[in-house]
């Protein structure tokens, strides 16, 4: 890793990946699905349900990235993906209201324990903003639910481009009125960070070793190209000199 002092001195803002980095989507989605569907008599592996739903996330965005489909907000992609996986798990007969409630479980994801306090400390010294593929309403509602003190919501819908497209990172910097070298992309995912680095942003890695459950093998350690690594947002705040 490069010296943090060398490359991060000019940083004015941190922008964050959210699903997996700030919130624990897998546990939250499994719990919400179980809460709604167990009382209806369904008895399935709820974490497998969450994984199946999430597995359709990248392919759905890829249709937009490739230009096959105009920009479509993630709430709509999530809903289509939900309706596609329900038959795989033998689930049927949900009302439109129930489908909408379950789809909006993504608006109610729980934060990792260190997220609210870590972000609150980072906010004292830096602008903090989401740079998620989640749409604005999803991120605003999640922030209210999970106590995430964002200065503003950026990301795919505002930038009209899904990560890891370069436009996504570059438009976020432009909206903040900052050079890419003044912005630190923060994520638990090396691929996201490497894409941001190719656009000139600085990078911070915070591992979330149980994002994908107990058997996770990906993203346990930072790529050598990453500028700074921390074990939590609290640790990141310490390392970046936030009170």
Binding site for a second copy (CB under 8 A): 75, 127, 129, 135-141, 143-144, 150-153, 157-158, 175-178
Residue with tokens 């350690």: 221
Q: How far is the CB of 68 from a second copy (least distance, A)?
A: 23
Residues in the chain: 243
Q: Are 68 and 96 in contact (CB under 8 A)?
A: no
Q: Which is closer to a second copy, CB of 114 or CB of 157? A: 157
Q: Which is closer to a second copy, CB of 135 or CB of 168? A: 135
Q: How far is the CB of 196 from a second copy (least distance, A)?
A: 19
User: Around 119, how many Cα atoms within 13 Å sit in the side-chain half-sphere?
Assistant: 24
Q: How far is the CB of 203 from a second copy (least distance, A)?
A: 21
DSSP 3-state of 18: coil
Q: Which is closer to a second copy, CB of 127 or CB of 165? A: 127
Q: From its phi and psi, is residue 129 left (phi > 0), alpha (psi between -120 and 50) or beta?
A: beta
Q: How far is the CB of 150 from a second copy (least distance, A)?
A: 7
CA angle at residue 86 from 72 to 45, to 5 degrees? 120
Q: Which is closer to a second copy, CB of 151 or CB of 235? A: 151
Q: How far is the CB of 123 from a second copy (least distance, A)?
A: 9
Q: Which is closer to a second copy, CB of 142 or CB of 204? A: 142
What is the rounded distance in angstroms from the CA atom of residue 103 to the CA atom of residue 25?
12
Q: Are 207 and 190 in contact (CB under 8 A)?
A: no
């Amino acid at each position: 890793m490069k010296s943090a002092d060398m490359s991060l001195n000019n940083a004015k803002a941190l922008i964050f990946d959210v699903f997996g980095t700030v919130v624990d989507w897998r546990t939250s989605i499994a719990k919400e699905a179980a809460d709604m569907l167990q009382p209806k008599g369904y008895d399935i592996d709820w974490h497998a349900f969450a994984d199946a739903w999430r597995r359709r996330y990248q392919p759905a965005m890829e249709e937009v990235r490739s230009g096959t489909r105009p920009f479509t907000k993630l709430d709509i992609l999530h809903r289509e993906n939900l309706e596609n996986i329900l038959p795989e798990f033998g689930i049927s007969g949900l009302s439109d209201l129930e489908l909408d409630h379950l789809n909006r479980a993504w608006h109610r994801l729980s934060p990792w324990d260190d997220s609210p306090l870590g972000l609150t400390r980072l906010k004292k010294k830096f602008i903090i903003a989401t740079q998620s593929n989640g749409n604005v309403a999803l991120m605003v509602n999640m922030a209210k639910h999970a106590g995430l003190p964002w200065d503003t919501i950026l990301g795919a819908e505002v930038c009209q481009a899904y990560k890891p497209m370069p436009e996504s990172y570059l438009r976020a910097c432009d909206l903040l009125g900052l050079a890419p070298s003044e912005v630190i992309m923060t994520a638990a995912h090396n691929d996201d960070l490497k894409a941001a680095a190719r656009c000139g942003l600085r990078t911070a890695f915070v591992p979330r070793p149980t994002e994908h459950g107990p058997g996770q093998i990906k993203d346990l350690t930072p790529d050598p190209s990453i500028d700074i690594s921390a074990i939590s947002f609290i640790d990141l705040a310490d390392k970046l000199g936030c009170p």
